[in-house]
Structure 1
Amino acid sequence: MELFDVYPLYNITPASARGVIIKDESGQEYLDLYGGHAVISIGHGHPHYIKRIKNQIDKIGFYSNAVHNPLQHELTEKLGRISGCDDYHLFLCNSGAEANENALKLASFHTGKSRVIAFKNSFHGRTSAAVASTDNPAINAPINRQQQVTFLTFEDIDALRKEVAKGDVCAVILETIQGVGGLDEPSSSFCAEIAELCKKHQVVLIADEVQSGFGRSGKFFAFQHHNITPDIISIAKGMGNGFPVGGILIHPKIEAKYGLLGTTFGGNHLACAATLAVLEVLEEENLMANATEIGAYFKECAKQVPQVKRIKGKGLMLGLEFGFEVADLRKNLILNQHIFTGSAKDKKVLRVLPALNIEKVHIDTFFTSLKQELE
């Protein structure tokens, strides 16, 4: 048997990792400024994270949601307090795609409607309704195209008003910092308009925080930069620091019923331990403040690079836009400078998504290396 060949791979085999450093099988070290798609939030191999998971697996690693799991309640309390969303309810699952799938499904249940409004350059996952709400025809199979989704452009208030007023929309799904699309952001006034229209027309507002959540933007959630209140918030990626975890935060106006949602693996004991460890480290090491500070330092350094046309993003969810496609630059940073960065749907954007405990010295290393590759 062979692997199903769907990933173009760099010829690198990581063997170990600590903090923001990855070491391959030959002993070569790499500076990780991408965190495996923004997954590594508190650094590779954080000692508290390792201890939490080891201690838990010595007790029990998994059982289904048919029994009590006190870790879920501990997680719910801590997540509500740290995020500032204490009045929401939590449903746990396993990934960002599953989180958005459940969010869209719940919105449809709640409203009795089926059409979704999403935005151009969005990315919400690869499952049925989530991928249909993703603005990339190449990953939408015919079976996904049965979903009713309308794609709009940020700031087009007239189109938004017109579509929502038709009365058949169950949800508006929004990334307030687009991830895969390339770090584009709506204005606060546009976000406020979305929230007001959703409230007026009984449409569920879903904030996709899969990549931007858990402190990456400098606030716990990126939508909190815009003073809006979503009805559902989807979370994953940095939530488990590499352990597969996802979830949705659900406003109390949406009623729970037995059997409405379900999952086999979601909220298992190890997943809860991993997420609790992340929350504890975020709080104890003040990593949201660090994301803001290091993000500002990154932007100041980027201003000194004349080839950078635009600096995008907030906190440690960052992008550098160039006047050329960055595929070769990204490849050279990996192979020549031993630095991991990321690409985007916008082929001129280089994405930087490091662990939130990264230090200024690592940013200095990146810009020294970047300038060498741009000479």
Structure 2
Amino acid sequence: MSLFDVYPLFNVTPVKAEGVYVYDNNDNKYLDLYGGHAVISIGHSHPTYIKNINQQVSKLGFYSNAIKNPLQVELAKQLGNKSNCKNYQLFLCNSGAEANENALKLASFHTNKKKVISFKNSFHGRTSAAVATTDNTKIVAPINSQQEVIFHDFEDLKGVEKTLKNNDVCAVIIETIQGIGGLNEVTTKFYKGLQKLCNQYDTLLIADEIQSGFGRTGDFFAFQKHGVLPDIISMAKGMGNGFPIGGILIHPNIQAKYGMLGTTFGGNHLACSASLAVLSVIENENLLSNVKEVSNYFIKEAKSLPHLTSIKGRGLMLGLEFNFPVSEMRKTLIYKHFIFTGSSKNPNLLRILPPLTIQKKHIDVFIKTLKEELKTFSS
């Protein structure tokens, strides 16, 4: 049997990882500035993370959601405290796509409406409703396109209100900072206006924090900079540091009913142990402060890069935009210099999503390497 060939793969085979480094089967050591799509939050193989999972799996790895799981209760408590979202309710699942799928389904249940507003360049996942709200026709199958989704430009409040006036929209879903779309972020004025319109037209505001949540921007959630309170907050990626887990935070105005949402593996004992380890390390190692400090240093140093047209994003969710396509440079960084970076829908953008434990010395290595390579690229 062969694998279903849907991933264009780099010729790298990791066998172990520690901190901000990944090691392959040829003993090469890679600086990880991508964290496996922003997943690695507290660093690879963190001792607290390993200890939590090992201790839990030696006792109980899994049982279904038909029984009480104190770890879920503890995760909800810790997450509420550390995110300052204490009044919200937690529903756990397995991934970001599932988180958005459940968020959209819940919004439809709550409002008894079915249309959704999303935004151009968005990416919300690959499950049925989530992929329909993703602005990429190449990954939306005919069965998914049955969903009724209206796409608007960022900052287009007038367009959003015109759609909402029909009173048939259950949710507005928005990435606080677009990941795959190219690190675009709306203004506080737009976000506050969006919340006001959602309240006015009985529509739920869903903040997609799957990449930007769990401290990646220096705030626990990226939307908190804008002073808004979404009705539902979706999260995943850095939530489990590599262990599959996702979830939604649900405003107390939304009432739960038995059977309206469900999952077999979501919120299992190992997943909760992994996420509790992440929260513990974020607090004990002051990672939110580290994110802001390293981010400021990165931006200052990056401004001297040749061919750079802009620096996008916030915290350790950053994009370096150049005046040429970066695909070949990414390959050079991997195969010649052993540095992982990311791409986006914008062909000129290099995405930087390292573990939140990264230090200034690692940034120095990257900037120095990039300056050397950029000498070979003409404008």
TM over 0.5: yes
Offset, 1:10: 0.8
CA distance in 1, matches of 2:296, 2:331: 26
Offset, 1:301: 0.7
Per-residue CA shift, 1:197-239, capped at 9, x if unaligned?
0011110000000000000011000000100000000000000
Q: Where does residue 64 of structure 1 map in the other structure?
A: 64
AA aligned to 1:306 is: P
Q: What TM-score do the two structures reach when normalised by structure 2?
A: 0.98
Q: Where does residue 262 of structure 2 map in the other structure?
A: 262
Q: Where does residue 48 of structure 1 map in the other structure?
A: 48
Identity fraction in percent: 64
Offset, 1:26: 1.0
**SS of residue paired to 2:40:** coil
Q: Where does residue 202 of structure 1 map in the other structure?
A: 202
CA distance in 1, matches of 2:62, 2:124: 28
CA distance in 1, matches of 2:157, 2:101: 26
Q: Where does residue 300 of structure 1 map in the other structure?
A: 300
> Are 2:306 and 2:371, in contact at CA under 8 Å, matched by a contact in 1?
no
Q: Where does residue 87 of structure 1 map in the other structure?
A: 87
Q: Where does residue 341 of structure 2 map in the other structure?
A: 341
**SS of residue paired to 1:126:** coil
Offset, 1:117: 0.3
> Are 2:118 and 2:152, in contact at CA under 8 Å, matched by a contact in 1?
yes
Please state if 1:171 is matched with 2:171.
yes
Offset, 1:307: 1.2
What aligned pairs does 1:119-138 form with structure 2 within 5 A after superposition?
A: 119-138=119-138
Q: Where does residue 159 of structure 2 map in the other structure?
A: 159
CA distance in 1, matches of 2:298, 2:164: 39
**SS of residue paired to 1:174:** strand
Q: Where does residue 374 of structure 1 map in the other structure?
A: 374
CA distance in 1, matches of 2:68, 2:176: 35
Please state if 1:246 is matched with 2:281.
no
Offset, 1:155: 1.1
AA aligned to 1:167 is: N
Offset, 1:195: 0.3
CA distance in 1, matches of 2:224, 2:165: 26
Per-residue CA shift, 1:144-202, capped at 9, x if unaligned?
00000000001112111111111010000011100110100111100000000001111
**SS of residue paired to 1:82:** helix
**SS of residue paired to 2:23:** strand
Offset, 1:296: 0.7
Q: Where does residue 364 of structure 2 map in the other structure?
A: 364
Q: Where does residue 110 of structure 2 map in the other structure?
A: 110
AA aligned to 1:213 is: G
Q: Where does residue 73 of structure 2 map in the other structure?
A: 73
CA distance in 1, matches of 2:289, 2:178: 21
CA distance in 2, matches of 1:13, 1:117: 40
AA aligned to 1:187 is: T
CA distance in 2, matches of 1:165, 1:306: 48
Offset, 1:77: 0.2
Per-residue CA shift, 1:119-150, capped at 9, x if unaligned?
00000000000000000000000000000000
> Are 2:232 and 2:249, in contact at CA under 8 Å, matched by a contact in 1?
yes
Please state if 1:6 is matched with 2:6.
yes
CA distance in 2, matches of 1:289, 1:303: 22
Q: Where does residue 289 of structure 2 map in the other structure?
A: 289
Offset, 1:288: 0.8
Per-residue CA shift, 1:20-69, capped at 9, x if unaligned?
01110111100000000000000000000000000000100000000011
**SS of residue paired to 1:205:** strand
CA distance in 2, matches of 1:360, 1:345: 28
CA distance in 2, matches of 1:153, 1:296: 29
CA distance in 1, matches of 2:325, 2:163: 35
Compare 158-167 and 255-264 and name the one that shifted more. 158-167
Q: Where does residue 318 of structure 1 map in the other structure?
A: 318
CA distance in 2, matches of 1:357, 1:20: 7
CA distance in 2, matches of 1:368, 1:336: 14
CA distance in 1, matches of 2:306, 2:344: 21
**SS of residue paired to 1:22:** strand
CA distance in 1, matches of 2:152, 2:72: 37
AA aligned to 1:41 is: S
AA aligned to 1:368 is: K
CA distance in 2, matches of 1:176, 1:12: 32
Q: Where does residue 193 of structure 1 map in the other structure?
A: 193
**SS of residue paired to 1:183:** coil
Offset, 1:306: 2.5
> Are 2:306 and 2:374, in contact at CA under 8 Å, matched by a contact in 1?
no
**SS of residue paired to 2:107:** helix
CA distance in 1, matches of 2:248, 2:268: 15
CA distance in 2, matches of 1:161, 1:201: 9
CA distance in 2, matches of 1:366, 1:164: 46
